[in-house]
Amino acid sequence: MDLNVNAPLRDNVRLLGDLLGECLRQQAGDGLFDTIERIRKASVATRGEQGTPLSSLRELLSPLDDDTLLEVARAFSQFLNLSNIAEQHHRERLHRQHQRYPGDPGGDQGLLDVLARLKEEGVADARLGETLHDLSVELVLTAHPTEVTRRTLIRKYDQMADLLGELDRSDLNDEERRSLRARLRRVILAAWSTDEIRREKPTPVDEAKWGFATIEQSLWQAVPDMVRQLENQLEERGLPQPPADWAPVKLASWMGGDRDGNPNVTAAVTREVLLLARWMAADLYLRDVENLLADLSMEMASDALLAVTGPSNEPYRVLLRGVRARLKLTRRQLEAQVDGLPVPEGEGFAFREQLLEPLKLIDQSLREVGLADIANGDLKNTLRRLNCFGITLLRLDVRQESTRHSDALDAITRYLQLGSYQQWDEERRQAFLIEELQARRPLIDAGFRSSEECTAEVAEVLDTCAVIAEQGSEGLGAYVISMATTPSDVLAVMLLQKIAGVAEPMRVVPLFETLADLDGAEDTMRALMAIPFYRERVAGGQEVMIGYSDSAKDAGFLGAAWAQYRAQEKLTALFAEHGIPLTLFHGRGGSISRGGAPSRMALLSQPPGSVAGRIRVTEQGEVIRFKYGRPAVAVFNLAQYVAATLEATLLPPRVPEPAWREQMQTLTDVSVAGYRGVVRDEPELVRYLRTVTPETELSRLALGSRPARRKADAGIGSLRAIPWVFAWTQIRLMLPAWLGTGGALEEALADPEQSARVREMADHWPFFQGVVDMLEMVLAKADLNVAAWYEQRLAGTDEGLQKLGDVLREKLTSCVAALGGLTGREDLLENNPVMRWSIRVRDPYTDPLHLLQAELMARLREQDGDETLESALMVTIAGIAAGLRNTG
Q: Report, as residue numbers or ranges, the catalytic residues.
A: 144, 553
Segment holding 544, helix H or strand E: strand 542-547
Report which of 223, 293, 227, 273 is spatially closest to residue 251, judged by C-alpha positions: 223
With contact defined as beta carbons under 8 Å apart, do 739 and 733 qualify? no
C-alpha distances out from residue 774 to 15, 383, 396, 477, 732, Å: 32, 39, 31, 31, 16
- Can you state the angle between helices 631-650 and 125-134, rounded to 10 degrees? 130
Vertex 633 angle, CA 629 and 635, to 5° = 105
Task: List, in sequence order, every residue forming a beta bridge with 543; answer none if it has no partner.
Answer: 583
> Do 46 and 53 meet the contact criterion of CB atoms below 8 Å apart?
yes
DSSP sequence for 377-407: IIIHHHHHHHHHHTTTSSEEEEEEEHHHHHH
List Cβ neighbours of 881 (8 Å cut-off, separation of 6 or more).
Answer: 146, 148, 622, 729, 730, 887
Dist. CA 838–CA 84, nearest whole Å: 10
The closest of 406, 399, 404 to 426, measured between CA atoms, is 406
Helix (H) / strand (E) element for 799: namely helix 799-823
Q: What sign for the dihedral angle of Cα 455, 458, 464, 469?
A: negative
Q: What are phi and psi for residue 396, nearest 5 degrees?
A: -90, 125
CA-based Rg of the chain, rounded to a whole angstrom?
Answer: 28
SS3 238: coil
* Sign for the pseudo-dihedral over CA of 269, 275, 281, 282: negative
Phi, psi angle pair for 851, to nearest 5°: -60, -45
Report in angstroms the alpha-carbon separations of 293 from 240, 290, 296, 349. 32, 5, 6, 19
C-alpha dihedral sign at 665, 587, 533, 443: positive
Residue 584 β-bridge partners: 544
Compute the half-sphere exposure of residue 852: CA atoms within 13 Å on the CB side of its CA. Answer: 36
Nearest C-alpha neighbor of 583 from the set 614, 624, 559: 614
Within 10 Å of residue 784's Cβ, how many Cβ atoms?
Answer: 15
Q: What is the DSSP string of 702-767?
A: ---SS-SBSSSS-SGGGB-HHHHHHHHHHTT--HHHHTTHHHHHHHHHTSHHHHHHHHHHHHH-HH
For the stretch 831-839, contacts whose Cβ atoms lie closer than 8 Å and that sit 24 or more positions apart, written own/partner, are 832/102, 832/103, 832/105, 832/777, 833/1, 833/102, 834/1, 834/6, 834/101, 834/102, 834/103, 835/103, 835/105, 835/777, 835/780, 836/780, 837/1, 837/6, 837/103, 838/87, 838/103, 839/780, 839/781
Q: How distant, in Å, are the alpha carbons of 113, 569, 796 from that of 605?
A: 18, 12, 44
Amino acid of residue 243:
P
End-to-end C-alpha distance for the chain, whole angstroms: 29
DSSP H helices in 135-243: 151-167, 174-192, 204-214, 220-236
By the 8 A CB rule, do 146 and 679 touch?
no
